[in-house]
Amino acid sequence: MELNVKLAHKTYPIYIENNLLQSAGSYIEHAFQGKRIMIISDDNVYPLYGDLLTAQLEGRYQCSHYVLPHGEPSKSFDMLPGVYSALLEAKLSRSDLIIALGGGVVGDLTGFVAATYLRGIKLVQIPTSLLAQVDSSVGGKVAVDLPQGKNLVGAFYHPDMVLIDPLVLKTLPERFINDGMGEVIKYGCIADAKLFKILEKCGSFEDLEDYLSNIIYTCVDCKRRVVEEDERDTGRRMLLNFGHTLAHTIEQHFHYERESHGEAVAIGMYQICRFAQLRGLTAPGTAEQIKSILISYHLPFECALPTDVLLDAILLDKKNLNDHLNVILLHTIGDSYIYETTAEFFKSEQITQI
Ligand SMILES: NC(=O)c1ccc[n+]([C@@H]2O[C@H](COP(=O)([O-])OP(=O)(O)OC[C@H]3O[C@@H](n4cnc5c(N)ncnc54)[C@H](O)[C@@H]3O)[C@@H](O)[C@H]2O)c1
Ligand SMILES: O=C(O)C(=O)C[C@@H](O)[C@H](O)[C@H](O)COP(=O)(O)O
Ligand SMILES: [Zn+2]
The domain locations on the chain are: 2-171, 175-352
CA-closest candidate to residue 270, choices 288, 252, 257: 288
Quickly state the pLDDT bin for 344 (edges 50, 70, 90).
confident
Q: 278 C-alpha to center of ligand 3: Å?
A: 25
pTM score, two decimals? 0.96
Q: What is the pLDDT of residues 139-156, one digit of tens each?
A: 999 999 998 889 999 999
170 in a labelled binding site: no
Here the ipTM equals 0.99
State mean pLDDT over 204-211: 88
DSSP 161-217: EEEE-GGGGGGS-HHHHHHHHHHHHHHHHHH-HHHHHHHHHH-SHHHHGGGHHHHHH
The mean pLDDT of 171-184, rounded to a whole number, is 97
User: Strand 325-332 and strand 335-341: pairing?
Assistant: antiparallel
Spatial CA neighbour of 105 closest among 139, 147, 76: 76
Query: pLDDT at position 350, please?
Result: 63
Distance 324 CA to ligand 3 centre (A): 21
Mean pLDDT for the stretch of residues 349-353: 61
The CA distance from 136 to 75, in Å, is 13
Task: Tell me if 105 is assigned to a ligand binding site.
Answer: yes
The ligand that comes nearest to the alpha carbon of residue 130 is 1
- B/e letters for 21-43, b = 16+ CB within 10 Å, e = fewer, are beebbebbeeebeeebbbbbbbe
Residue 354 has a pLDDT of 56
| Average pLDDT of span 169-188 | 98
The CATH class, in words, for 175-352 is: mainly alpha
Q: Output the pLDDT for position 318.
A: 85
Query: Per-residue pLDDT tens for 211-240?
Result: 999 999 999 999 999 999 999 999 999 999
Q: Which fold has domain 2-171?
A: Rossmann fold (3.40.50)
